[in-house]
Structure 1
């Protein structure tokens, strides 16, 4: 009887070992599923900033063709015929319509001369031509789009915008948006008189030495708050009188030290000389 039962016990152990054993490809399948889910979440998160808005609807083929002609005539000598970049200028593949609208709309591009950074000047292209050029560059690869008007009206939260501006922007642009010097001859330009769309595009694309503040760093509504704060500064001049260029307490202290104490010393010398 013992011999008859022995195969049964062995078979039971074999079945237990087979049923409790994991398939060799199970680990790879789990890794593949995890990578797929991670990639899907990442792609969905990064698709939001490039979602089309009222100003970023698909450009017509005619716009793209006109933009291609403008690019070949004005930009290809530096950026290459296919916008892939050269030793003189970077590639424009993936920069999006917002970068083109900012650089060309503010006159920074095409550059007048080489220098530490492209400086603002009167635009060389009309608004329609700028939009055509932006449509062509945007057709080459996905990138940040021109922002919707709903974020540019200056009707956000100015107090929240002031806090965001102090945290993210004031170290270069000054708390009053007056601009400031950087290293190697570069500078952060003043923000007074800059249109809201160009302020938004600068945050979105990070021109020159400016960091990129995409919609994960600063949301569109927060960008609108910053624009509201800068609009408030435009409409409300310094309540204390002469602003001294909005250069802050150092400039004000230096002004008082030189002119205030200088006037007192001069007055004392005048009184002494007159009495003698």
Structure 2
């Protein structure tokens, strides 16, 4: 019995250094966490002061590598290649690059949409650089693009100012000399605003004397509502209006009746 008690005591006995080791580990962990948090806070403060400069510098590098061939190293443009970017600002850069229109593959009647070739951060950097060198329209506030404007008023403004080119259903339409008004049913609210303010391609510029900021907000809200709305009549047929609908009925409706008549005649014979 005495031996069993001694064994139990020997097994349960702790090293005299255990407490010191535990305290040391706790102090090291606490110090490491504090140092890491302090470094993160300091880095955040420094980055806030240098973000604009760093982003503009990165944008300048990207611009020189991808855009200067057509638009020139000084943004003055090159005859026969690309226009001057003086005064276009970050809003136009974001529109052209986030829709894949730029860089343009070849000169033509107008730049068409294609897969985007840059990340959002790269586009923002180039836009910041252009804005710093050739200031122009800036990105809209979140309120303008929130979709909570007057949808009814926006739809009326769209019919008056935009539907003659973009179609009343915003499905786009053909213009002269190989140009066209694009389908804007998938366009982001930021790019809808950018199109109204900067007037890309054949689009007219709508300044605040033509359409106020509230008017633009209402138009954006109406288009966002239309993008999300379901078609109550079934197939939209491209939303191109009575021409496409009439053509569909002519081909499939009357064509189907003729096919049935032929089939009945063939059966009777």
Q: Return the alpha-carbon distance in structure 2 between the equivalents of residues 98 and 171 of structure 1.
A: 25
Q: How far apart in 1 are the matches of 2:208 and 2:113?
A: 25
- 2:64 matches 1:65: no
- In structure 1, the partner of 2:200 is 207
- The residue that corresponds to 2:225 in the other structure is 232
Paired with 1:123 and 1:257, the residues of 2 have a C-alpha distance of 39
Deviation of 1:170 after TM superposition, in Å, equals 1.0
User: Root-mean-square deviation (CA), in Å?
Assistant: 1.4
State the distance in 2 between where 1:275 and 1:63 align.
Answer: 80
Distance 2:60 2:259 in 1: 67
Give the secondary structure class of the aligned counterpart of 1:151: coil
The TM-score normalised by the length of structure 1 is: 0.75
Q: Which residue of 2 aligns with 1:80?
A: 72
Instruction: Tell me, in whole angstroms, the C-alpha distance in 2 between the residues paired with 1:78 and 1:243.
Output: 40
Cα contact 2:85–2:134 (8 A) shared by 1: no
1:225 deviates by: 1.1
After superposition, residues 31-50 of structure 1 pair within 5 angstroms as none
TM-score by length of 2: 0.77
Distance in 2 (alpha carbons) for counterparts of 1:199 and 1:186: 19
Structure 2 unaligned spans of 5+: 1-50
Q: Post-superposition shift, 1:179?
A: 1.1
Which consecutive residues of structure 1, in runs of 5 or more, have no partner in the other structure? Answer: 1-58
- In 2, the alpha carbon distance for the partners of 1:124 and 1:250 equals 36
Tell me by how many angstroms 1:133 deviates: 1.0
Q: Give 4+ residue runs of structure 1 displaced > 6 Å after superposition.
A: none
How far did 1:212 drift? Answer: 0.8
Task: Determine whether 1:251 maps to 2:208.
Answer: no
Residue 163 of structure 1: how far off its partner (Å): 0.8
> Counterpart in 1 of 2:83?
90
Residue pairs, 1:55-204, within 5 angstroms = 60-87=52-79, 88-204=81-197
Deviations 1:89-134 (A, max 9, x none): 1000111111001011111111123322111122222112211211
Distance, in Å, in 1 between the alignment partners of 2:135 and 2:126 is 15
Q: Distance in 2 between matches of 1:205 and 1:143?
A: 9
Q: CA deviation at 1:256?
A: 1.2
